[in-house]
């Protein structure tokens, strides 16, 4: 593999006038590098959200829901077992309750028994619950057999999803998905919870117009934007302008204390203060704790956490989810170490000629954590990775994580076309996907995946080049800079958190927590600053830099708050000691 390069994002002209002129200079440069061209790009007000009426299928969806409401029928929401699915389920159930629907319920497939989506088996579990309408959230667009089973049982299905459809669509009563062929909605990046929010907003509007909203009821769908923000960030969908509005508005409500009791509890158990919460807190604190339920047990626990109005119950749920998350981290750490060893052995055996797409399998791995392992290995080898774990007898289940430029779901679709029968099931989107194959066909799939990625990947991607916003300038190594960058989000996929590069002298270096490298650095300007390289020892190899040595560093800024004093701390993304 080629040596990693540092590539600075170009800023050809500073195009941010008037209001933007008052921004911190570092934030101003970051915005310009992301192509923000005028003050309107900085306006994340709710009034700029793409109109609800422009999302195809919402009228038909509302018709179905209203029919169920008028007949006092029961809506059953079938969700997914990740944070996007949990928040989608909570948004729909909470809003239906507020709108006076009759006992709306939810059902989440046990990933270890039934797998993903509305399967025929899940429909058979649902039938005794006597639903008048099944609503899928964050799944369903590929559930052809499950929808057919529901129709045989006389239950109409409303599919709300954001995943890419296959060659055929399910025979559902209505489908709402911004990624359907021919769909003209202005954002293809909505998460499942974003789609659910749009449907609930359209339903609420129609019911208000028809005078069907219970008197005095609090039914503003914007009250649910805290959950929309959590699901959107946790699902790592691109933060286009529409998603940035949803997340920004959700964060505004969280900071004001107007959020679900369960989300408040998840943030508090992670020791985050509501008034300073940012998107990264949802991504790395609340989201993983919520996801832990679906990864190791049953996501019903996470959904109940988001549904309860009781502060006491919310704290109990959050505590249990936090314990599960700790267990998940222990399993993940072991599996990552094994996977890193496997990838290192593979790299060595291939004398550096690593396949463009990498597949790893271990009979002792846990299905619930393989996506995290794939993500970690992807960071190491800079190419799409699929980690496999045992499924039912004779089958293995894989979780893929991709890199920019390789649409992994499209790659799997191409494999299914070129190699009929090789993939039993698959689904996903650009950056993540899941699949099931015969264990006896792993090596065949491994070759097919490498060949397909090779056709699609830009060779420059394989180098793991680091894209930065250049250096921080003299006088910017302070807490004010970190605060401005923190508040300048929401940052996430497609609108990356700022990261910078520079050369520093090492004043002090020591290992803390058995695996992290703590540094005291001197910038070329003469300013001193603290830095930390998390998990530095996990990857092995390079020894810690020595005092007086010079290093090249790619870093993010963070605020280290202790005893009421805010200090800048640089967080290393990549570190190289210079000779």
Q: Domain for residue 104, yes or no?
A: yes
**Alpha-helix runs per DSSP H in 127-167:** 144-152
What is d(CA 406, CA 420) in angstroms, rounded to the nearest whole number? 21
Q: Are residues 438 and 531 in the same domain?
A: no
Q: Domain for residue 12, yes or no?
A: no
The reported pLDDT for the residue numbered 351 is 55
Q: Is 94 helix (H, G, I), strand (E, B) or coil?
A: helix
Q: Are residues 106 and 132 in the same domain?
A: yes
pTM above 0.75, yes or no: yes
| Of 429, 447, 463, the domain-final residue | 463
Q: How many CB atoms lie under 10 A from the CB of residue 217?
A: 11
Q: Are residues 391 and 519 in the same domain?
A: no
Q: Which helix (H) or strand (E) covers residue 434, if one does? A: strand 432-438
The reported pLDDT for the residue numbered 341 is 77
Spans of the chain below 70 pLDDT:
1-3, 12-21, 37-39, 111-112, 115, 216, 343-344, 346-352, 460, 539-542, 563
Phi/psi of residue 96, nearest 5 degrees: -60, -40
- The CATH number covering residue 86 comes to 3.90.1640.30
The reported pLDDT for the residue numbered 563 is 63
Q: Domain for residue 36, yes or no?
A: no
Q: How many CB atoms lie under 10 A from the CB of residue 476?
A: 21
Q: Are residues 389 and 264 in the same domain?
A: no
Q: What domain range is 298 assigned to?
A: 48-324
- The CATH number covering residue 360 comes to 3.10.310.30
- Which DSSP letter does residue 422 get? S
Q: Are residues 276 and 395 in the same domain?
A: no
Q: Are residues 470 and 454 in the same domain?
A: no
The reported pLDDT for the residue numbered 1 is 44
Interstrand relation of 157-160 and 105-107 (parallel, antiparallel or unpaired): unpaired
Q: Domain for residue 348, yes or no?
A: no
The reported pLDDT for the residue numbered 23 is 87
Q: Are residues 421 and 496 in the same domain?
A: no
Q: Domain for residue 7, yes or no?
A: no
Output the 3-class SS for 472-538.
CCCCCCCHHHHHHHHHCCCCECCECCCCEEEEEEEEEEEEECCCEEEEEEEECCCCEEEEEECCCCC
What is d(CA 553, CA 524) in angstroms, rounded to the nearest whole number? 12
Q: Are residues 290 and 428 in the same domain?
A: no
Q: Domain for residue 6, yes or no?
A: no
| Of 463, 497, 515, the domain-final residue | 463
| Of 404, 439, 463, the domain-final residue | 463
The tally of domains found in the chain comes to 3
Q: Are residues 516 and 456 in the same domain?
A: no
Half-sphere exposure of 259 (CA within 13 A, CB side): 32
Phi/psi of residue 214, nearest 5 degrees: -55, 140
Q: Are residues 473 and 457 in the same domain?
A: no
The reported pLDDT for the residue numbered 566 is 85
Q: Are residues 538 and 424 in the same domain?
A: no
- The CATH number covering residue 522 comes to 2.40.50.460
User: Which tokens go with 115?
Assistant: 């797998």
Q: Domain for residue 84, yes or no?
A: yes
């Amino acid at each position: 593999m080629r040596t990693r390069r540092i590539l600075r994002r170009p800023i050809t002209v500073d195009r941010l006038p008037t209001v933007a002129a008052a921004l911190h200079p570092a934030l101003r440069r970051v915005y310009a590098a992301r192509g923000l061209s005028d003050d309107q790009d900085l306006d994340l007000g709710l009034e700029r959200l793409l109109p609800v009426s422009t999302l195809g299928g919402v009228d038909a969806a509302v018709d179905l829901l209203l029919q169920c409401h008028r007949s006092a029928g029961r809506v059953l929401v079938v969700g997914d077992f990740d944070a996007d699915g949990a928040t989608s389920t909570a948004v729909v159930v909470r809003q239906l309750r507020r709108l006076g629907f009759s006992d709306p319920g939810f059902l989440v497939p046990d990933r270890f028994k039934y797998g993903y989506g509305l399967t025929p088996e899940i429909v058979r579990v649902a039938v005794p619950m006597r639903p008048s309408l099944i609503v899928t959230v964050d799944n369903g667009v590929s559930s052809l057999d499950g929808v057919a089973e529901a129709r045989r049982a006389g239950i109409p299905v409303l599919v709300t999803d954001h995943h890419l459809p296959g060659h055929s669509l399910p025979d559902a009563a209505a489908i709402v998905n911004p990624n359907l062929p021919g769909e003209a909605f202005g954002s293809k990046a909505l998460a499942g919870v974003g789609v659910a929010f749009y449907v609930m907003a359209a339903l609420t509007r129609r019911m208000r117009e028809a005078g069907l909203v219970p008197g005095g009821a609090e039914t503003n769908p914007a009250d649910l934007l805290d959950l929309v923000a959590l699901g959107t960030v946790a699902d790592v969908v691109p933060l286009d302008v529409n998603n940035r509005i949803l997340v920004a508005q959700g964060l505004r409500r969280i900071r004001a204390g107007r959020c679900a009791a369960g989300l408040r509890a998840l943030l508090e158990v992670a020791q985050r203060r509501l008034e300073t919460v940012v998107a990264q807190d949802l991504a790395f604190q609340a989201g993983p704790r919520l996801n832990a339920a679906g990864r190791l047990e049953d996501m019903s626990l996470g959904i109940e956490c988001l549904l309860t109005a009781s502060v006491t119950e919310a704290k109990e749920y959050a505590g249990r989810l936090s314990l599960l998350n700790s267990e998940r981290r222990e399993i993940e750490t072991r599996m990552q170490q094994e996977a890193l060893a496997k990838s290192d052995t593979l790299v060595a055996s291939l004398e550096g000629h690593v396949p463009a797409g990498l597949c790893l399998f271990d009979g002792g791995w846990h299905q619930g954590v393989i996506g995290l392992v794939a993500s970690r290995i992807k960071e190491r080898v800079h190419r799409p990775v699929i980690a496999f774990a045992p499924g039912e007898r004779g089958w293995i289940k894989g979780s893929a994580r991709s890199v920019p430029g390789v649409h992994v779901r499209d790659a799997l679709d191409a494999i299914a076309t070129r190699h009929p029968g090789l993939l039993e099931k698959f689904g996903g989107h650009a950056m993540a996907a899941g699949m099931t194959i015969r264990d006896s066909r792993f090596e065949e799939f491994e070759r097919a995946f490498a060949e397909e990625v090779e056709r699609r990947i830009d060779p420059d991607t394989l180098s793991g080049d680091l894209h930065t916003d250049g250096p921080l300038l003299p006088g910017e190594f302070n807490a004010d800079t970190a605060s401005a960058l923190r508040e300048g989000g929401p940052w996430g996929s497609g609108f990356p958190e700022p990261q910078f590069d520079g050369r520093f002298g090492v004043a002090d270096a020591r290992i803390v927590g058995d695996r992290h490298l703590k540094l005291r650095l001197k910038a070329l300007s003469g300013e001193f600053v603290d830095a930390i390289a998390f998990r530095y020892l996990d990857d092995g190899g390079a020894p810690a830099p020595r005092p007086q040595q010079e290093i090249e560093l790619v870093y993010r800024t963070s605020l280290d708050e202790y005893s009421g004093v805010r200090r800048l701390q640089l967080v290393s993304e990549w570190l190289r000691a210079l000779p």
